[in-house]
Structure 1
């Protein structure tokens, strides 16, 4: 639910550019990523045929992302689900299908682990560390001191984590990403995005 809230304010801002136009332009007038967008254009045309959609009417972002969760065409084809069992996979206008589809994406592509954390707090114990810009856990908690960090108490020493540095108004804060942090990176490779999703989900949980 937090991803959909961040992506489109729960369907209020899904984009107003024809997806066919966006993908066609990027396929032929954006050499740096032309191959990627040519694949997306092909996926979009296949999608509209398979789902009986009007390719000339679907609107989305400038990059061709669509619906509540801003799925690219290949993600729509591979991960969208009919979550309310009405016989149609509709992430454009059906929030139930959209929520189920985001969950399916994270489960299948991101290997999401239910009932486990995304991040845990860390503390700096030395000079500002030089951290790797990656999303997949690569260092055990027991070895964090070599980077000048330590975790909160009672964390398994053999747990693999990825250290994260975020800038705030006081300087820097540190977190340790777990496997679900990497899972969320499959949706958007930005530590700020992932942390926004995490913090928003924590806020939503307080009302459930």
Structure 2
């Protein structure tokens, strides 16, 4: 008796045995035997979560690993895209104009969603634009195949991928989407606004009341789901994400540590002003000073909603792009500050080299692992201060070149 059947109750042995035979019989000649074993061995977890043998067989019969997922999961991201290049693409004039068209087309829906969830419509629309270019590209991978590939072959986070796979199977079984229509990214993010299955389970919304939470073909469902997600993570209605600001001459860059929280009024007492010259509308709002490219680029005071956006995608560049796109959609202009584009960010190997040089010069940052954390930023600041540089803690090719000159 095979490994699937040994764990099942007698009442379902026949059905699952037939399913297992069908899966085996349908595999192509070039089948991956390891993946076949994974499919058989994963059945008890799916069954325990309420997935039926009928659904399991219908989904997995003839399935093989997703070659593109295999390729992408093993690709090392050695180079970092500069934030200014990211923003040039993410908040392009084309995307802004398309977003304004969508704002007009779905204005009534977005108005109702804003009223229902308390999340500003332009923020919801900006996430849609960022994630799939307003539905223009939602990914061409079957989500269950991609997640099964990751659960089978990914060297890390196996339990995470297995959990997402079980949840995705449950979505199909409940009839929210057909298996063949369940398209998304190579890593399993789904639909118009790219939810992982676990996020879909927790936050997806049925806007039109048809009993399905369809983020793949129902734009209102997808937008409502995004608003619900932001609402549940603490979105503050009617408040912005942050403000572009100007720093005064002689500013203490140690205050821009990414953690220090002060009210806008208190930041103002340090000489910080909005780039457009206007006053802060609510001086009591708390904010954190963020310099995405150090002193060589624009500065921002980020409010609570910025960090709510980061719950959607935990990257400063992403959250800044969403916030800026949202502003542009309702008539805001480009950023005021310029990026000093020669201050390119470091790749991971370059970061490790920088850390080794800082350690060699007596600015201890710990292990040279290529990851920038608080210790590395403190070491950079100390080094910069010792050399008469602005101590902004920003790691760039310019900083690395200076370290190399020091020997």
Q: Normalized against structure 2, the TM-score is what?
A: 0.45
Counterpart position of 2:133: 9
> 8 Å contact 1:68–1:95 — kept in the other structure?
yes
1:122 aligns with 2:270: no
Query: 2:176·2:212 contact (CA, 8 Å) conserved in 1?
Result: no
Task: Encode CA deviations 1:12-69: one digit per residue, 9 max, x unaligned.
Answer: 1001111112111212322222222121112111222223533354221011001000
Identify the residue that residue 300 of structure 2 maps to in structure 1.
Answer: 175
SS of structure 2 residue aligned to 1:121? strand
- Which residue of 1 is the match for residue 117 of structure 2? none
Match of 1:160 among 277, 286, 291: 286
> Structure 1 stretch 125-134 or stretch 66-75: which is displaced more?
125-134
Q: Cα distance 1:196–1:52, how it changes in 2: closer, same or farther (>3 A)?
A: closer
Q: Residue in 2 aligned with 1:102?
A: 226
Contact preservation (8 Å) 2:176, 2:213: no
Shift of 1:144: 4.1
Counterpart position of 2:357: none
- Please give the secondary structure, in 2, of the residue aligned with 1:31: coil
Where do 5+ consecutive residues of structure 2 fail to align? 1-124, 333-407
* 1:104-141 CA-partner distances (Å, limit 9, x unpaired): 11001x2111101110132223357254356xx73344
Number of the residue aligned with 2:360? none
SS in 1 for 2:291: strand
| Kept after mapping to 1: 8 A contact 2:258/2:288 | no
SS at match of 2:326: helix
Residue aligning to 1:33: 157
How many residues were matched structurally? Answer: 202
Contact 2:192 2:216 in 1 (8 A): yes
What residue ranges of structure 1 are gaps of 5+ in the alignment? Answer: none
Task: Looking at secondary structure, tell me which structure has more helix per residue.
Answer: 2
Q: Is residue 92 of structure 1 aligned with residue 216 of structure 2?
A: yes
TM-score (norm 1): 0.84
1-structure distance, mates of 2:208, 2:169: 25
Residue 177 (structure 1) shift: 0.8
Cα distance between partner residues in 2 of 1:2 and 1:81: 18
SS of the residue corresponding to residue 166 of structure 1 reads coil
Question: In terms of Rg, which structure is larger?
Answer: 2
User: By percentage of residues, which structure has more strand?
Assistant: 1
- Match status 1:111 vs 2:237: no
Which structure's relative contact order is higher, taking Cα pairs within 8 Å and 6+ residues apart? 1
Which residue does the alignment assign to 1:70?
A: 194
Q: Name the CA distance, whole Å, in 2 between partners of 1:203 and 1:155.
A: 19
Deviation at 1:84? 2.0
